[in-house]
Homo-oligomer: A and B are copies of this chain.
């Protein structure tokens, strides 16, 4: 079985888990705490970041972007008309634009701050940056998440899914990041009904179920996190 090195609150790992679920590929999940810089993990991928996919033949594919492209190139056609990265180059531009929007921009402005400040810093020694959360960063992240939810609502106002009339990697990337925000209780769903109903649709997919069962020892989970009807 392929292996996926991941962390339950790493949004890029979650994106890949959702994609694998949609492709129907089962993987063995191996939890990796990247800040521990474990030697064996760095030998797999010197960049030392999750996610890393290891195929049955030992081939290593590191990083959400390269993994998404690899899965499309090797399994994409299998999904036919529901391909997560559509076949036409023009349609691929919009899907990749929004993948980058969430995996890069949303990560920089929201997920990275929330997860680092609320979770990773608690498990890091004070001498190397651990400690209590920086409240200014949390406030900025919570302000930014509103702007991104509005953007999702805006996209939803003209399209059924974020990049068009079919679900694509764009939706999985956005939902992966928002699921981390929601885990920590920082997604103000009631302010953005269209974004909420889009997220509900994704949350009810079988590929989402394993993510909803995730728990992190020592970190409280938002009570509505696992509820499909919230």
Binding site for B on A (CB under 8 A): 45-47, 49, 59, 61-63, 65-66, 69-70, 73-74, 89-90, 92-93, 96-97, 100-101, 104-105, 151
Contact = CB atoms under 8 A, between A and B. Distances in A.
Contacts of A96: 63, 65-66, 69
A92 B63 contact: no
Nearest to A57: B90
B47 A69 contact: no
Nearest to A69: B96
Contacts of A101: 47
Given A70-B93, A90-B59, A92-B73, A100 B65 contact: yes
Contact of A70 (B59, B63, B89, B105): B89
A93 B59 contact: yes
A46 B94 CA distance: 13
A66 B151 contact: no
B100 A61 contact: no
Nearest to A65: B100
A217 B65 CA distance: 36
Given A46-B151, A89-B74, A97 B66 contact: yes
A92 B70 contact: yes
5 contacts: A49-B105, A61-B93, A63-B97, A66-B96, A70-B92
Nearest to A101: B47
> Nearest 5 pairs between A and B by C-beta?
A66-B96, A73-B89, A63-B100, A61-B93, A66-B97
